[in-house]
Structure 1
Amino acid sequence: MSTGDDIKMTEEEAFSYLQDNLHMASAKQRRQANRESFLNEIVVAIHRHLPWHTVKNLNTPQEKRHLPTLEEIKEDMYDGTGGLCYTLNVFCRMLLQALGFEVVYVPSDVRGYKDVHTLLMVRHLTAEGSSHMVDVGSSSPLFRAISFDFEGETSPVYQDSFLRYRFVRQGDSVVQEHATSSDPHAAAEFDGTTSEWFTYLTIHYKRYVGIEFFNDTTRAFYTVVNPDVPFLTSLRCLAFPDNRFICIKDTTLLKENEDGRVEKSYFRSRDEILSAFQLYFPQFPRSMILIAMNDENVSFDFNKQTGG
């Protein structure tokens, strides 16, 4: 099925990428043994090695900011720098298509913004007509392909890293809900809810679209400074090395402990932020972080108190 973009990776390139960049050994044998398990391993490896971040956005001068091309996306993923949801999921589709999976784009709504989050549906994975959602770009730990063929209105509850989540049918869409107790930072940022579950995404999983569908809805996140979204106003970088959450968010460090709880601490200087990037995200040169920190729309509060 064509979705308006060409596959930009060969099968040979894809297997080399799995081995050299995602550190997956014996990938060909694993694909042959069990395609679903193989897909889940790829999803986990991307979460581990390709961070979600705003660093490159903030490094790009205003007059040169643009929606990344497929070639630029591929280059960033080979550099190990990752990107925003659009770049991560576009590359994931590129990789999975090269490995023989049938993958289509579907749109989803986030925080009242319609059709802005790029998602993937893997078709015919476990049976003819089956549908599995893959999302490696939402900054949430979805360490598996999620079957949308669940019975009834509500899916099983999943637990990955710190996060408990589930999916609920809503007309022709499926709502991704997070347990508020497991994701309080997102709950506060998204809708301030105090209920047990809150809506994270509304997924239009039956609407297969081409990559060009996202040109207008997504371009603004790369080009327009909006105080309501963090992509050009906040220095953020996160990943899941060893399947545990680590996140630099301006002057805040969020780190998942061995018990699966996310602990918060604060940086007290710009040098501490630079040191944290060197420790947790060494793929970013110091010069990139300095430029991002100096962006006129980014500010740092070094007086935050623990527990605040």
Structure 2
Amino acid sequence: MPSDLLSREQALSFLDKVGITDGEETLRKDPRRFLSDLLKAYQEHVPFQCVSLLAQSSEERHVPTLEEIVEAGLSLEGGLCFTLNTFFCLLLRALGFKVDVLDGSFSLSCHPHTHEVLLLRDLSEPGDNYIIDVGGGCPFLELIPVKDLPVTRYEAGFEYRYQYLGGMVARLHRIREDSERNQNETWPWAVYRTMLEEQDVRFSDFEATTESHPGLRFIFKFRRFWEWRDVDASDEVKILTEWAEGTQPVPDLLIAGYTSWMLYTIPQRLENDPNSPLDVLDLLMRVHEVVVPLLQRVAHRTRVLVHADTRLRPHSQAKKPGHRLAMNAVFQNFLEDWSEMMFRFFEKFGSGRITRRRRLVTRTVRLEGGLEHLVNMVEEITQGDRPSRGFDRMQSPPEEGAVKDYLRPDESGLWWWDTSLPINMATISECSDLHDRNFTQLPQYSEPVLRCEDHHHSGTATLNFEVHMLLNLICNTHLAVDRHFCCS
């Protein structure tokens, strides 16, 4: 979202419109009090309404642009959740806060992505995060501290509860009179879910521990191959090289899996190239050619798991029909199988074959009349013939009677991790069965357990299994179980 849509001067002027006096001074002295006052004033002066939408003909109706959202906010016209929460996000960013927009869904709707809320980050310190929602017909006038969930509040005649539900954060609400009259009855909750887990975790580096074992600390770092035109120059290859050569300490456990990411991102850069389908596969093969020998060398120093990519859900949804068609083309199973075959090829023969390294470059061809034409060309970057850098698989045998450390590398080298693939394919079969029976409106279809509406990412049924396997792998050494058992 562009940061220049709303200036700080416009934001301060807006504070005067909604009746906040000395807003800049309060913001400087007590940001929490300022936000509390702003939440109430904003929802009092900027209405939740659909009149503006209904006043348009069906042909004129459209999702408002960011410019239209800013105009609707500054004029106090208001609108639906998309307008109200998006403008509030721009307002807070203009005032110096860290705010993200989160996707959400109403449980009573048969369609996903029907709501949005905000996540305010690092208010007083890193990790001090709050949920904000100023885009509902049932107003909520407080910040919701994520670390204190579940949270119950009473506002505007309603009883609200925010809690974790099925790996997500859910907001539930009911009329307060009903809650007082039926304390012992099941709550007639109206629920919507907010997808915190994906927006908060995906593509992020973070540290985690547990209350029961605070000494157990996990540091997760996410890296993606982005400089695929010249993969040798990518930051990821530099990191792998440092680990392989021993100039940087290796992680305790390295999990690699990049086929789907490469298949998805490379075509976006080659959409004007008539040979792009072949170029995509060629470039993916070149990534394997560079990365696999490095992973083999890193596997000498730490445990390396190569994750088999999950498979396509044939009935998944997309916002645009063209995008859905493209996703179905990108994530076909035979492309995943081909990529695995290339990976295994370089794993087996990479240390002995002569490689000629290439990269894709863009050249400008000058035409008559002062015109120019951009073309993609492949150029050799190999400095003479040289073998791929291999490694010696011989390892010293473990001492007799020693407890096996499953994180220490051994003669097996890389581990191809496809244990969860049957579970992933079973959940895809369940999604297809629900689709064929016309049960796509059921919560089970869109909930994260199966995640049937996602093209490619695993649901929690698969992810939980993988997490359990990783925890067992990490903990088996300390549990000192018989080495013939993989779990405990």
Q: Which residue number in structure 2 is paired with residue 148 of structure 1? A: 146
1:176 paired to 2:171: yes
Of the structure 1 ranges 105-114 and 133-142, higher mean CA displacement relative to structure 2 is found in 105-114
Letter in 1 for 2:70: K
Q: Report if the CA contact (8 A) 1:49-1:80 is conserved.
A: yes
Pick the structure with more strand per residue. 1
CA deviation string 1:26-78 (max 9, x = no partner): 00111012111111211111110011111111111221111111111111222
CA deviation string 1:166-210 (max 9, x = no partner): 1121243111111354589xxxxxxxxx8324142111123339x
1:10 paired to 2:7: yes
Q: Report if the CA contact (8 A) 2:157-2:175 is conserved.
A: no
Deviation at 1:115, TM superposition (A): 2.1
**1:25-174 to 2 correspondences below 5 Å:** 25-110=21-106, 111-112=108-109, 113-150=111-148, 154-155=150-151, 157-174=152-169
Of the structure 1 ranges 48-57 and 194-203, higher mean CA displacement relative to structure 2 is found in 194-203
Q: Report if the CA contact (8 A) 2:134-2:140 is conserved.
A: yes
- Aligned pair in 2 of structure 1 residues 116, 7: CA closer, same or farther (>3 Å)? farther
More contact order relative to length (CA 8 Å, sep ≥ 6) = 1
Calculate the aligned-residue CA RMSD, in Å: 2.2
Partner of 1:208, secondary structure, is: helix
Distance 2:101 2:178 in 1: 26
1:200 paired to 2:198: no
Distance 1:181 1:90 in 2: 29
CA deviation string 1:199-222 (max 9, x = no partner): 42111123339xxxxx949xxxxx
Deviation at 1:126, TM superposition (A): 2.8
TM-score (structure 1 length as normaliser):
0.59
Q: Report if the CA contact (8 A) 1:108-1:204 is conserved.
A: yes
Q: Report if the CA contact (8 A) 2:103-2:115 is conserved.
A: yes
Q: Report if the CA contact (8 A) 1:106-1:206 is conserved.
A: no
Q: Where does structure 1 lack aligned partners over 5 or more consecutive residues?
A: 185-193, 210-214, 218-308
Deviation at 1:116, TM superposition (A): 1.8
Q: Report if the CA contact (8 A) 2:100-2:119 is conserved.
A: yes
Pick the structure with more helix per residue. 2
- Aligned pair in 2 of structure 1 residues 158, 181: CA closer, same or farther (>3 Å)? closer
Partner of 1:120, secondary structure, is: strand
CA deviation string 1:51-107 (max 9, x = no partner): 111111111122111111111111122222110110000100010000001000111
TM-score (structure 2 length as normaliser):
0.38
Distance 1:56 1:118 in 2: 19
**1:208-219 to 2 correspondences below 5 Å:** 208=199, 216=319
% identical aligned pairs: 27
- Aligned pair in 2 of structure 1 residues 109, 68: CA closer, same or farther (>3 Å)? same
CA deviation string 1:229-286 (max 9, x = no partner): xxxxxxxxxxxxxxxxxxxxxxxxxxxxxxxxxxxxxxxxxxxxxxxxxxxxxxxxxx
Distance 2:83 2:124 in 1: 27
Q: Report if the CA contact (8 A) 2:104-2:116 is conserved.
A: yes
Partner of 1:63, secondary structure, is: coil
Q: Report if the CA contact (8 A) 1:7-1:94 is conserved.
A: no
Q: Report if the CA contact (8 A) 2:131-2:146 is conserved.
A: yes
Deviation at 1:129, TM superposition (A): 1.3
Which structure has the larger Rg over C-alpha atoms?
A: 2
- Aligned pair in 2 of structure 1 residues 39, 32: CA closer, same or farther (>3 Å)? same
Letter in 2 for 1:196: W
Say how many residue pairs are matched: 196
Letter in 2 for 1:169: Y
Q: Where does structure 2 lack aligned partners over 5 or more consecutive residues?
A: 180-184, 201-317, 321-488
Q: Which residue number in structure 2 is paired with residue 224 of structure 1? A: none
Letter in 2 for 1:195: T
Q: Report if the CA contact (8 A) 1:76-1:82 is conserved.
A: yes
Distance 2:4 2:147 in 1: 27
Q: Report if the CA contact (8 A) 2:158-2:174 is conserved.
A: yes
Distance 1:84 1:40 in 2: 21
Distance 1:85 1:183 in 2: 26
Of the structure 1 ranges 25-34 and 200-209, higher mean CA displacement relative to structure 2 is found in 200-209
Partner of 2:198, secondary structure, is: coil
- Aligned pair in 2 of structure 1 residues 91, 182: CA closer, same or farther (>3 Å)? farther
Distance 2:26 2:188 in 1: 36
Distance 1:121 1:97 in 2: 12
